[in-house]
Amino acid sequence: MLTLQSPVDQLIRIKEDTRTALKKLGIHTIEDLLYHFPTRYADESQFVSIQGLTEEVTATVRGTIKKIAAKKSWKSKMPMSEAVIEDVSGSLPVVWFNQPYLAKMLHVGATIELTGKVTMYKDKLALVNPTVREEKTLPIDSHDSLFGTDENAILTPIYAESKGVSSLWFHHAITRALATLETIPDHIPAALLEQYSLPALKTALIWIHGPKTANNATVARKRFAFDEIFSINIARQKERMTIKEHVAYAIDTEGTDTEDFISRFGFPLTGAQTNAIDHILHDLEQDVPMSRLLEGDVGSGKTAVAAVAAYATVMNRPGSKEKKQSFGSLQVAYMAPTEILATQHFESFIELFRHTGISIALITGSGCRKFPSKVASNKDNWTTISRAQLSKWIANGEIPIVIGTHALIQKSLTFKHLALAIIDEQHRFGLNQRKGLAKKDTHFPHLLSMTATPIPRTLALTMYGDLDLSLLDQLPAGRKQVTTVLVTPDKREEVYEKVRAVLKEGRQAYIICPRINSSDKDAEKTIQMKNVMTEAKRLQDVVFPEYRIGILHSKMTKDDKESAMEDFMNHDTDILVATSVVEVGVNVPNATVIIIEGAERFGLSQLHQLRGRVQRSSHQPYCYLFAEAKSERTQERMKLFLQAKNGFELAEYDLQLRGTGELTGTQQWGISDIGMEALRNLKLVEAARQAAIGIISDDPMLEKYPLLGARIKPFEKMHFE
């Protein structure tokens, strides 16, 4: 008997190229197939047949490209593209003036939708400069209604296809699956479906793949949106409960003079920092492991907060609350995403902890360091040390604070009394990673995870549902606001002169481009978008011949990247031409100006992250935005950017304005399009979260909900290292 878990080829005979295509789409079981939702629905009634076109009307036609080529107009030599498209009723010439690249982007045989005004051109009716929408799929014949023979069914589902499998194939396979499977058990408890008026699983599947009305489709999508957010929340709440069953070192913060430690910072804490520290110290006092996320814009002072937590921890002796040892100290591991950042943290921690006499170590791929040095003549400084020696000292508990990269969580490294793990800019650091750090220790480390990635509240509630949240939504007083200017193309030279003046004063500059090199397949974008390689060369040859220019992009090897950053940090280069890779936590205080090319191509929160790079010194920082698109939308977005108070606000704008595709690192969250869509709806997200909390607090192991337990398996693995 067929079940959801049966492989697709038990349902339907599959040809070899279809098999390959399905594999690529990650479709193996009937369940996978049923969860391959249409990306959209085409409403057949909106298209006009070519035969039916009349002059001066604005119309949308859909057809196949018969011919297409780039040309120069005969008289003015204006570059252009010319095409002929065809539907069942006839064919139609199409011209695009000034857009020769379209001839490269579109190809014969592709199905496209064109919207534009019907005009006479060379004595024939034609579409001139229409907007183009390339169909990723061939539409299903609308008369071949999916379910039953409802005459009104005009919504045809369009699926994401790949070579070898068409929308039509999906249509047949899914129809058969739904007809064959008599019942499809629902993992969402019936009471919840009723409470939120959601359709049962089978109904929702029928509706999403073959809606009779637009409302069918909407209701079905709503069900699957709730379903996904709810399931992720179940997985997160379950993890939260599991972690709370472990024992952590309860840290006595009363007997620790954190006030004194803070008073040496040389600046007063912001209110947000004080709040965060209060929450963290309170968490650390419990023998239940802390799981807290500290979210704060670049420069909001997360390191200082981390340092206080580390200080409170290492001033404590190992042992249980009742019975403390009389020697040794608890340990802290502080993990950063790159060697440069780990080294920077090591250096700031030396300054902050110098007066305490506490030992601090650095461990990265390129070697290890220890502070203070044992050598009397070098006592105020660090010294290099072998990894073997350092490992021994960490294992016997002699070094309380260990800072490092991923080298920190390698199997070979064992802490004696690890009480706190601080994780900087790692998107997820889950149960298994924490277990891995604890090794044989019966205690589980407290976790302080820190991020400057501004994400909307709904995404945080969902993806970080197992963590408590502290926000640093305040920048330290006296921080200079970045002067941000949206530059029109005619002012480009002026901006270069301004940058030159800043460089002359001994400062440095970032120039950010949207692309790495010019070999992109996408002809239009290549023409219009600045790319790192070409731009770096042009800047060196033409604009800033007197300055040293470095480059940085994601395709460089890790070593090349680090050395490019190091050159910039040591001021061996003056200008760094880069893609958005500089986004993540790099600190070069002497860089005070940033130019962002193609600014309209970045999400607002990403622009904000980039701008944060130059807000690190006492010099006035500048951010110049070049935006190519003159559309109203671009203008609107840029205006929001100039006005917004912080990154959180911008992340919300990104979510609402452009959708989740624009959020930093969307793919890495592993949420489907429908799930991402749901994040725009705070009410839905909160309802799903409350529902999940209700179920897990009643039945943490989901013993009463085996189907739900199976459903959340993939979400339990959503952790990143």
Distances (CA, A) of 92 to 80, 107, 116, 551, 690: 17, 16, 13, 48, 56
Q: Does 345 bind ligand ADP (CB under 6 A)?
A: no
Q: List beta partners, residue 400.
A: none
CA 581 to chain centre: 13
Contact 80, 70 (CB under 8 A): yes
Query: Does 310 help bind ligand ADP (rule: CB under 6 A)?
Result: no
Residue 270 or 458: the one with the smaller Cβ distance to ligand ADP is: 270
- Taking the complex as a whole, the smallest distance from the CB of residue 273 to ligand ADP amounts, in Å, to 6
For ligand ADP, the closer of residues 304 and 399 by Cβ is: 304
Helix (H, G, I), strand (E, B), or coil: what is residue 293?
A: strand
301 binds ligand ADP, rule: CB under 6 A = yes
Task: Report in angstroms how near the CB of residue 523 gets to ligand ADP at its nearest.
Answer: 39
Q: Could you count the other beta carbons within 10 Å of the beta carbon of residue 681?
A: 16
Q: Residue 148: exposed, middle, or buried by beta-carbon count in 10 A (0-12, 13-18, 19+)?
A: exposed
* 633, 640 contact by CB (below 8 A): no
User: Is residue 96 within 8 Å of 126, Cβ to Cβ?
Assistant: no
**Which residues, in sequence order, are CB contacts of 117 under 8 Å at separation 6+?**
56, 57, 58, 127, 128, 130
Of the two residues 351 and 572, which places its CB atom closer to ligand ADP in the complex? 351
Nearer to ligand ADP, 550 or 647 (CB): 647
Question: Which residue from 489, 487, 453 is spatially nearest to 471, judged by alpha carbons?
Answer: 453
Query: Rounded to an integer, what distance in angstroms lies between the CA atom of residue 258 and that of residue 41?
Result: 60
Give the binding range for ligand ADP (CB under 6 A) out of 154-162, 299-307, 541-549, 665-673: 299-307
Q: Closest by alpha carbon to 132, among 96, 80, 172, 168?
A: 96
The number of angstroms, rounded, from the C-alpha of 419 to the middle of its chain's C-alpha atoms is 30
Considering only residues 174, 304, 671, 684, which one is a binding residue for ligand ADP as defined by CB under 6 A?
304
**Residue 562's closest CA among 364, 362, 303, 298?**
364
Q: Is 337 among the residues that bind ligand ADP (CB under 6 A)? A: no
**Minimum CB separation from ligand ADP for residue 410, in Å?**
25
Closest distance of CB 372 from ligand ADP, Å: 21
- Binding segment for ligand ADP (CB under 6 A), chosen from 46-54, 174-182, 241-249, 295-303, is 295-303
Judged by CB under 6 A, the chain residues 92 through 131 that form the site for ligand ADP are: none
Inter-residue contact 87 to 110 (CB < 8 Å): no
CB of 302 to ligand ADP, least distance (A): 3
The pair of structure tokens assigned to 24 is 């690529």
Closer to ligand ADP by CB, 145 or 451: give it. 451
Read off φ and ψ for residue 623, nearest 5 degrees: -130, 120
Q: Which is nearer to ligand ADP, 296 or 397 (CB)?
A: 296
Closest CA to 584 of 561, 618, 600, 551: 561
Which of 4, 241, 269, 657: binder of ligand ADP (CB under 6 A)? Answer: 269
CB nearer to ligand ADP: give 141 or 351.
Answer: 351
**Helix ranges, 137-213 (H):** 167-180, 190-195, 201-209
* Span of 14-22, 165-173, 264-272, 624-632 interacting with ligand ADP by CB under 6 A: 264-272
C-alpha to C-alpha distance for 390 and 410, rounded to whole angstroms: 14
- Give yes or no for residue 584 binding ligand ADP (CB under 6 A): no
Return all residues near 543 (Cβ < 8 A) that are at least 6 apart: 496
Pick from 167, 270, 573, 579: which binds ligand ADP (CB under 6 A)? Answer: 270
* Interface with ligand ADP, residue 273, by CB under 6 A: yes
Q: Which is nearer to ligand ADP, 348 or 672 (by Cβ)?
A: 348
* One of 66, 72, 120, 267 touching ligand ADP (CB under 6 A): 267
Contact with ligand ADP (CB under 6 A) among 145, 216, 303, 343 = 303
Contact between 302 and ligand ADP per CB under 6 A: yes
Dihedral through CA 541, CA 543, CA 549, CA 555, nearest 10? -80
Q: What b/e sequence results for 119-138 when a residue is b if at least 16 CB atoms lie within 10 Å of its CB, and e otherwise?
A: beeeeebbbeebebeebebe
The residue (of 224 and 311) whose beta carbon lies closer to ligand ADP is 311
Do 293 and 468 contact (CB within 8 A), yes or no?
Answer: yes
- Residues from 423 through 462 that contact ligand ADP (CB under 6 A): 452
Characterise 628 by phi-psi region: left (phi > 0), alpha (psi -120 to 50), beta (else).
alpha
**Which is nearer to ligand ADP, 231 or 270 (by Cβ)?**
270
Contact 58, 115 (CB under 8 A): yes
Stretch that binds ligand ADP, among 66-74, 262-270, 312-320, 520-528 (CB under 6 A): 262-270
Q: Rounded to the nearest whole angstrom, what is the least distance from the CB of residue 422 to ligand ADP in the complex?
A: 11
Site membership for ligand ADP, residue 476 (CB under 6 A) = yes
Single-letter residue type at 204? A
Pick the closer one to ligand ADP by CB: 169 or 353.
Answer: 353
Please state the closest distance from residue 450 (CB atom) to ligand ADP, in A. 7
Q: Is position 298 an interface residue for ligand ADP (rule: CB under 6 A)?
A: yes
Q: Does 606 bind ligand ADP (CB under 6 A)?
A: no
Task: Rank residues 452 and 596 by Cβ distance to ligand ADP and give the closer one.
Answer: 452
Q: Are 85 and 61 in contact (CB under 8 A)?
A: yes
Of 301 and 550, the one with the shorter C-beta distance to ligand ADP is: 301
Selected from 100, 211, 296, 454, the binder of ligand ADP by CB under 6 A is 296
Q: In angstroms, what is the minimal distance from the CB of 480 to ligand ADP?
A: 12
Q: Which has the closest alpha carbon to 362: 379, 352, 348, 380?
A: 348
| 694 contributes a contact to ligand ADP by CB under 6 A | no
CB of 296 to ligand ADP, least distance (A): 5
Judging by beta carbons within 10 Å of its beta carbon (0-12, 13-18, 19+), is residue 427 exposed, middle or buried? buried
**Tokens at 82, concatenated:** 């010319």
Residue closer to ligand ADP, measured from CB, 30 or 452: 452
Task: Find the binder of ligand ADP among 167, 300, 573, 660 (CB under 6 A).
Answer: 300
Q: How far apart are CA 370 and CA 378, in angstroms?
A: 12
* Interface with ligand ADP: number of residues (CB under 6 A): 14
Cβ atoms of 232 and 428 within 8 Å: the answer is no
Q: Compare residues 219 and 475 and give the one whose CB is closer to ligand ADP.
A: 475
Closest to ligand ADP by CB, 25 vs 341, is 341
Tell me the backbone φ, ψ of residue 60, rounded to 5 degrees: -110, 120
Query: Is-contact 261 309, C-beta < 8 A?
Result: no
- Shortest spacing between CB 375 and ligand ADP, in angstroms: 29
- Nearest residue to ligand ADP, using CB? 301
Q: Tokens 């920048």: give the residue.
A: 475
Q: Which residues contact 633 (CB under 8 A, 6 or more apart)?
A: none
Considering beta carbons, is residue 259 or 703 the nearer one to ligand ADP?
Answer: 259
Q: What minimum distance in Å lies between the beta carbon of 429 and ligand ADP?
A: 17
d(C-alpha 255, C-alpha 419), whole Å: 17
Q: Which stretch binds ligand ADP (CB under 6 A): 268-276, 366-374, 391-399, 536-544?
A: 268-276
Q: Which stretch binds ligand ADP (CB under 6 A): 298-306, 427-435, 596-604, 707-715?
A: 298-306
User: CA-CA-CA-CA torsion for 111, 114, 118, 122, nearest 10 degrees?
Assistant: -60
Decide: is 299 part of the binding site for ligand ADP (CB under 6 A): yes
CB nearer ligand ADP, residue 300 or residue 364: 300
**Min separation Cβ 583 and ligand ADP, Å:** 12
- The one segment of 300-308, 351-359, 462-470, 671-679 that binds ligand ADP by CB under 6 A: 300-308
For binding to ligand ADP (CB under 6 A), which residues are involved?
267, 269-270, 273, 296, 298-304, 452, 476
